[in-house]
Homo-oligomer: A and B are copies of this chain.
Amino acid sequence: MKAYDEYRRMIEQSLAPMLESLGEIPEKLLEAMRYSLEAGGKRLRPVMLLAACDMAGGDTGTALPFACAMEMIHTYSLIHDDLPAMDNDDFRRGKPTNHKVFGEGIAVLAGDGLLNAAAELMAGAALRMADSRGIRAMEIIMRHAGVTGMIAGQAADLLSEGEPPREDLVIYIHSHKTADLLEAPIEAGLALAGADEQACRLGREYGYHLGLAFQMTDDLLDVTGDEALLGKKTGADAELNKMTWVALRGVAGTKKDAAEQAELAIGAINRLPWEHGFFTELARGTVSRKQ
């Protein structure tokens, strides 16, 4: 297996070429999609997909379009989430948000375009594969991204604004809005390597707990983090009265819960038959990160 930054480099070198491989895209639309796609970030989701595929003995080259699709889905969700009708954010990763630069209409289309491009890339890649691994991976990713997955979490988040935090709702929102897009890449990566259902289930379990640990840490950083490192203002969740783990459990309780979720993730990955130091480290790093 490779180091995190090697997978990350593979993805960053492929995102724009994959998008442009689709054909002639109107210049302004392409520019808007690339603006958000190339704004950086940790590339956590596509890295997980490549690493999971690699761990289980699959070919990372074959997995690359699926990894890029994962990042396109994540990016579209951020563009739409930042819109005035949603979270109304002016900055993301230290840069003006998509609609601030390109206008709301193009931001809506850039988001639509990235979601469609993700499905189109995966369908094209699956069509070129000799077996059903590609279509299996695609089905996993679209399901976790969809109306019973990430979009369900977005809707619940939006609809519960202003309500007092409730544990069942916070878990619902975190598990869909965040964990579903971390379950998808590890399960899809394993599926692309031809792993069996039992391994996929353990991968999903890892992704679920990692997702909760990740979101709890995000909620913590919004209260205790360094604005310069984060590239955004802290305290935004409290200001918007968001349904966060910190609002429910406080800072100390959230720290404890995040560490516990990271250990549960590690417990799941420990049951896989492959060398999985990468994923153990990833879970530990998720709760100790500063940005």
**Which chain A residues have a beta carbon within 8 Å of chain B's beta carbons?**
19, 22-26, 28-30, 33, 76, 80, 83-86, 99, 103-109, 111-113, 115-117, 119-120, 123-124, 126-127, 132, 134-136, 138-139, 142-143, 145-148, 151-152, 154-156, 158-159
Contact = CB atoms under 8 A, between A and B. Distances in A.
B83 A108 contact: yes
A282 B103 CA distance: 39
A24 to B, nearest CB: 6
A25 B116 contact: no
18 contacts: A29-B152, A33-B147, A80-B108, A83-B104, A85-B107, A105-B158, A106-B155, A106-B158, A109-B158, A113-B151, A113-B155, A116-B151, A120-B146, A123-B142, A124-B139, A127-B136, A127-B139, A134-B135
Copies in the complex: 2
A77 to B, nearest CB: 8
Given A123-B138, A135-B123, A156 B116 contact: no
Q: Shortest 5 CB-CB distances between A and B: which pairs? A: A85-B104, A23-B148, A119-B119, A123-B139, A116-B146
Contacts of A22: 143, 146-148
A149 to B, nearest CB: 8
Nearest to A25: B147
A159 B116 contact: no
B104 A151 contact: no
B116 A155 contact: no
A112 B26 contact: no
Contacts of A134: 135
Contacts of A115: 112, 115-116
B117 A146 contact: yes
A120 B108 contact: no
Contacts of A148: 22-25
A252 to B, nearest CB: 32
Contacts of A156: 26
A158 B29 CA distance: 10
Given A29-B151, A112-B115, A123-B135, 12 more contacts: A29-B147, A105-B158, A106-B158, A112-B151, A115-B115, A115-B116, A116-B151, A120-B143, A120-B146, A123-B138, A126-B139, A127-B135
